[in-house]
Amino acid sequence: MKIYNTLSKRKEEFVPLKEGKVKMYVCGPTVYNLIHIGNARPMIVFDTVRRYMEHKGYEVNFVSNFTDVDDKIIKKALEEGVDSSVISERYIEECKKDMKAMNVRPATTHPKATQEIDGMLEMINTLIEKGHAYAAEDGTVYFRTRSFKGYGKLSHKNLDDLQGGNRSLLVSGEDQKEDPLDFVLWKPRKEGEPYWESPWCKGRPGWHIECSVMSKKYLGEEIDIHAGGEDLIFPHHENEIAQSEAANEKPFARYWMHNAFLNIDNRKMSKSAGNFFTVRDISETYDLQVLRFFMLSAHYRSPLNFSAELMEAASNGYHRIVTCVENLNYLLQSIPGQDGESASVSGEEKELLKEADGFEAKFDEAMEDDFNTADALAAIFELVKFVNLHASSGSGREFLEALKSRIVTLSDICGLVVEKKEEMLESEIEALINERQAARKAKNFARADEIRGELLAKGIILEDTREGVKWKRA
């Protein structure tokens, strides 16, 4: 299995630290709003990497955090006049619903930054003791960037170029730093902000130290893969390496994987630019399996431009697989008995199944080459074409089952659900809506939200209107 490593700028053969095991950390979202489909790209891509590795027999310990203390969360909390934990908890729950609806599996552990402050204080302390960090007069703790020899190795930046680029920081009130390249590990609280006690000041952690600490706690000092969007290479991941390697005196992650941006009109989709669609927005028009198919139709290191046309193409592509499985199910249902002639595979069918194995091999070959999901999907299409050509009312049961299992297995590695479960009956939907209304009346908003999530996961969207609750299928 080959992985492109941002550290070496090359594809490298994947060799895990421990045979058969993978320790993987993916930087998760900052939770102050519903996630947009740019945030969904790393979720879908790295969930697919995890699924493929598991398919190959690896045991994957997959950790992905929620950043639940941040300026944007605090700002939103102040606007709403609530505690910032109310905001972060709300959007963690919403994010989990979106993940479920995109068939992104929950991580082995989803740590939250605010629950890991002790570990952060400990690592900052170690860094101070080892001479890699210092506290300024106001209690801010900085990392002494030049004390870490490998600084710049991930982003392939040169310290002196960075020095030039950062000079302006000196005049923006950060003159208590020894060097403009130094970055914050701990900062003093401002009025109205959440804070924790520390030896340096009442305050809160910097963003980078959070991931170094959560990765260490849940995966250990050395891990196999660290991943995220390419905007995280610098400074976030560069700083994580500096902190972790300076504190632990061990190499941090062996492979660094970064997905390219999801763009819109060739510009990065982002909250701050305002050019975004939330996953929830998309779910009103499309089955989120279509979004997943769309994301995987490009290689994860290529920029992907979002457009209605490409979503339509993705919808057609996805439904071509679904229809093929439906046809197979129809043919299977039409076969009268379980035993007899139709149950065994004929000589000709054996030959055909051998041929079908070739598509599986193609799929694997694409995935082994740095997770080329675009080519992997193309291999599924070839298989679909083959099935459409060779499966008929004259085919035997075992043959049809074998074809179906190949399509479903390959799709499942991509996290694509291609065999539609029974749709929810209207009566079931109405019953859940009634239960939700009752829960809201009883101010049990957690249950009410849970029901909304359950329905969303089954493709039912609720809309609260003045005339009452309306629902529709995605």
By CB under 6 A, is residue 42 in contact with ligand AMP?
A: yes
List C-alpha distances in Å: 442 to 155, 157, 451, 462. 53, 57, 14, 19
**Backbone phi and psi for residue 3, each to the nearest 5 degrees, phi listed first:** -125, 135
List C-alpha distances in Å: 360 to 204, 214, 341, 382, 383. 50, 37, 27, 10, 8
Interface residue with ligand AMP among 12, 89, 231, 401 (CB under 6 A) is 231
Spatial contact of 222 and 18, defined as CB atoms under 8 Å apart: no
415 binds, among ligand AMP, Zn ion, none (CB under 5 to 8 A by kind): none
Query: Which residues have C-beta within 8 Å of that of residue 317, sequence separation ≥ 6?
Result: 293, 297, 377, 381
- Residues 182-221 within binding reach of Zn ion (CB under 5 A): 211
Pick the closer one to Zn ion by CB: 221 or 450: 221
29 binds, among Zn ion, ligand AMP, none (CB under 5 to 8 A by kind): ligand AMP
State the binding string over 234-273 for ligand AMP (x if CB under 6 A, else -). Answer: -------------------------x-xx-----xxx---
Counting every residue written for the chain, the total comes to 474
For the bound state, the minimum distance from the C-beta of residue 473 to ligand AMP, rounded and expressed in Å, comes to: 28
For the bound state, the minimum distance from the C-beta of residue 1 to ligand AMP, rounded and expressed in Å, comes to: 22
List C-alpha distances in Å: 469 to 60, 255, 282, 430, 473. 42, 48, 20, 10, 14
**249-282 core/surface letters (b: 16 or more CB in 10 A; e: else):** eeebbbbbbbbbbbbbeeebbbbeeebbbbbbeb
| Distance of alpha carbon 182 from alpha carbon 161, whole angstroms | 14
For the bound state, the minimum distance from the C-beta of residue 300 to ligand AMP, rounded and expressed in Å, comes to: 9
* Dihedral angle sign, alpha carbons of residues 97, 99, 105, 106: negative
For 201, other C-beta atoms within 10 Å of its C-beta total 18
State the binding string over 171-210 for ligand AMP (x if CB under 6 A, else -). Answer: ----------------------------------------
By CB under 6 A, is residue 41 in contact with ligand AMP?
A: yes
Report the relative pairing of strands 267-268 and 141-143 from DSSP bridges.
unpaired
- Residues 122-181 within binding reach of ligand AMP (CB under 6 A): none
- Residues 15-34 within binding reach of ligand AMP (CB under 6 A): 27, 29-30
For the bound state, the minimum distance from the C-beta of residue 88 to ligand AMP, rounded and expressed in Å, comes to: 12
Closest residue to ligand AMP in the complex (CB): 229
Long-range contacts of 172-180 (CB under 8 A, 24+ apart): 176/136, 176/137, 176/138, 176/140, 177/136, 177/142, 178/134, 178/142, 178/144, 179/144, 179/145, 179/146
Report the relative pairing of strands 262-264 and 133-135 from DSSP bridges.
unpaired
Closest by Cα among 211, 196, 195, 203 to 247: 211
For the bound state, the minimum distance from the C-beta of residue 72 to Zn ion, rounded and expressed in Å, comes to: 15
Number of residues that bind Zn ion (CB under 5 A): 2
Report the relative pairing of strands 253-259 and 262-264 from DSSP bridges.
unpaired
90 binds, among Zn ion, ligand AMP, none (CB under 5 to 8 A by kind): none
Spatial contact of 290 and 314, defined as CB atoms under 8 Å apart: yes
Pick the closer one to ligand AMP by CB: 231 or 326: 231
211 binds, among ligand AMP, Zn ion, none (CB under 5 to 8 A by kind): Zn ion
Pick the closer one to ligand AMP by CB: 306 or 363: 306
For the bound state, the minimum distance from the C-beta of residue 45 to ligand AMP, rounded and expressed in Å, comes to: 9
Number of residues that bind ligand AMP (CB under 6 A): 17
110 binds, among Zn ion, ligand AMP, none (CB under 5 to 8 A by kind): none
For the bound state, the minimum distance from the C-beta of residue 46 to ligand AMP, rounded and expressed in Å, comes to: 9
229 binds, among ligand AMP, Zn ion, none (CB under 5 to 8 A by kind): ligand AMP
For the bound state, the minimum distance from the C-beta of residue 252 to ligand AMP, rounded and expressed in Å, comes to: 17
Determine which helix (DSSP H) or strand (DSSP E) holds 183, and give its type and residue range: strand 183-188
84 binds, among ligand AMP, Zn ion, none (CB under 5 to 8 A by kind): none
For the bound state, the minimum distance from the C-beta of residue 39 to ligand AMP, rounded and expressed in Å, comes to: 4
Residue 235, preceding peptide bond in cis (omega within 30° of 0): yes
DSSP state of 106: P
Which 3-state string (H, E, C) describes 59-72?
EEEEEECEECCCHH
State the binding string over 14-53 for Zn ion (x if CB under 5 A, else -). Answer: -------------x--------------------------
- Residues 357-386 within binding reach of ligand AMP (CB under 6 A): none
Pick the closer one to Zn ion by CB: 36 or 406: 36
Query: Which residues have C-beta within 8 Å of that of residue 17, sequence separation ≥ 6?
Result: 23, 222, 223, 224, 254
278 binds, among Zn ion, ligand AMP, none (CB under 5 to 8 A by kind): none
For the bound state, the minimum distance from the C-beta of residue 250 to Zn ion, rounded and expressed in Å, comes to: 18
In the complex, which residues of this chain contact Zn ion (CB under 5 A)?
A: 27, 211
Residues found near ligand AMP in the complex (CB under 6 A): 27, 29-30, 38-39, 41-42, 228-229, 231-232, 259, 261-262, 268-270
